[in-house]
């Protein structure tokens, strides 16, 4: 599927969930003016999508205090991006440094011409040049496939759906208005299933995109083992010392999950299991050698 069609489809699905919430809750809170709730939620969904589209890169950069760096300020990263991008032929992305000792990286920007590749200070200290190339190749694969826009929009809208459902849930419990049994049941179902549906959509998109970016990046530079080695180092370091700022809703943008979670959180992680990612890359390396 063309990246633009995937973005459009995601917009439509998540907007539909917003409208569904408005339709169900509109009759309870607005009575005969239920159509007002639908219009309100539709407007909110469109506004959130527009903000995500145009300002997601600024929001994510601000969240992690990432700063655009010049080639003189980050010569090693700049050379790696240039080296890897010579295979991709994309518009030259800007580079940024995240002031964190936790080794990690992400790419952001609504399209390839606006792309930014950001890495932490900890990543530059931990990885050698070949492993750094593997990480950069992974991030530029996301840029090429427009994954960064898809995952940012999905995370933003899914978070908004969960937040709104929670507001109306507590409003219903603490408010004075009473609903009949059928309406009450419908509201409970929507309050539970709408955020869950949005989250599952986000997880499915994010996990499939990570596998594809691993493969695309590894095959582009013809060194799957370098990316596999980098992933193992990053996974171990992030478990030992998770990142201390930012929003877990943005975890899907990073190459490995930067936040520590319990067993339930790992089950619903935006990233596929690291063992499986590394296994696929090692297998890809063996297949490449045998050709």
Pair 106, 210 in one domain: yes
Pair 198, 64 in one domain: no
**What is the percent of the chain with per-residue pLDDT over 90, rounded to a whole number?**
42
Higher pLDDT, 34 or 244: 244
Domain boundary among 160, 176, 203: 203
What is the mean predicted confidence (pLDDT) over 24-46?
70
- Write down the pLDDT at residue 44: 76
Q: What's the sign of the alpha-carbon dihedral 211, 214, 220, 225?
A: negative
Higher pLDDT, 3 or 108: 108
Pair 101, 124 in one domain: yes
- Write down the pLDDT at residue 29: 63
Higher pLDDT, 88 or 241: 88
What is the mean predicted confidence (pLDDT) over 115-132?
96
- Write down the pLDDT at residue 104: 96
Pair 79, 113 in one domain: yes
Pair 192, 140 in one domain: no
**Total count of domains within the chain:** 2
Highest mean predicted confidence (pLDDT) among 4-8, 102-106, 164-168: 102-106
Mean pLDDT of the chain: 80
Which residue out of 131, 139, 210, 235 is catalytically annotated? 139
Which own/partner pairs from 209-213 qualify as long-range (CB within 8 Å, at least 24 positions apart)? 209/142, 209/145, 209/147, 209/150, 209/151, 210/271, 210/272, 210/277, 211/272, 211/277, 211/280, 212/141, 212/145, 212/147, 213/138, 213/139, 213/141, 213/142, 213/145, 213/147
Domain boundary among 177, 203, 229: 203
- Write down the pLDDT at residue 25: 66
Pair 117, 237 in one domain: yes
We report the CATH number of the domain holding residue 139 as 3.30.2010.10
Is the pLDDT at 71 greater than 70, yes or no?
yes
Pair 44, 179 in one domain: yes
Pair 87, 132 in one domain: yes
Pair 160, 189 in one domain: yes
- Give tens-digit pLDDT for 134-185: 999 999 999 998 887 776 666 666 666 666 666 666 666 655 555 566 656 6
Pair 141, 14 in one domain: no
Pair 158, 230 in one domain: no
> What pTM was estimated for this model as a whole?
0.77
- Give tens-digit pLDDT for 253-275: 899 988 765 444 454 566 788 99
Pair 49, 79 in one domain: no
- Give tens-digit pLDDT for 176-208: 555 566 656 666 666 666 666 666 666 666 677
What is the edge-to-edge ordering of all strands in the sheet holding 67-69? 67-69, 94-98, 116-120, 105-108
What is the extent of the structural domain holding 228? 60-147+204-290
Known active-site residue 139: yes
- Write down the pLDDT at residue 257: 86
């Amino acid at each position: 599927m063309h990246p633009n069609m995937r973005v459009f489809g995601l917009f439509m699905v998540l907007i539909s969930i917003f409208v569904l919430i408005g339709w169900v809750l509109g009759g309870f809170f607005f009575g005969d003016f239920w159509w007002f709730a639908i219009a309100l939620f539709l407007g909110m969904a469109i506004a959130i999508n527009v903000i995500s589209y145009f300002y997601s890169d600024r929001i994510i950069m601000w969240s992690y205090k990432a700063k655009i760096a010049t080639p003189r300020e980050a010569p090693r990263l700049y050379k790696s991006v240039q080296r890897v991008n010579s295979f991709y032929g994309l518009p030259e992305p800007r580079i940024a440094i995240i002031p964190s000792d936790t080794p990690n990286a992400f790419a952001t920007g609504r399209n390839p011409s606006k792309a930014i590749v950001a890495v932490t200070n900890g990543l530059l200290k931990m990885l050698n040049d070949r492993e750094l190339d593997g990480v950069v190749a992974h991030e530029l694969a996301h840029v090429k496939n427009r994954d960064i826009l898809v995952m940012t929009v999905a995370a933003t809208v899914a978070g908004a759906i969960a937040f709104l459902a929670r507001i109306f849930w507590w409003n219903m419990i603490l408010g004075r208005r009473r609903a009949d049994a059928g309406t009450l049941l419908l509201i409970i179902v929507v309050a539970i299933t709408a955020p869950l549906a949005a989250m599952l959509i986000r997880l499915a998109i994010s996990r499939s995109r990570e596998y594809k970016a691993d493969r695309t990046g590894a095959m582009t530079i013809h060194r799957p083992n370098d990316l596999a080695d980098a992933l193992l180092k990053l996974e171990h370091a992030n478990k030992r010392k998770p990142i201390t700022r930012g929003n877990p809703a943005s975890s899907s943008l990073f190459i490995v999950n930067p936040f520590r979670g319990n067993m339930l959180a790992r089950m619903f992680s935006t990233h596929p299991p690291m063992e499986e990612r590394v296994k696929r890359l090692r297998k890809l390396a063996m297949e490449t050698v045998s050709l």
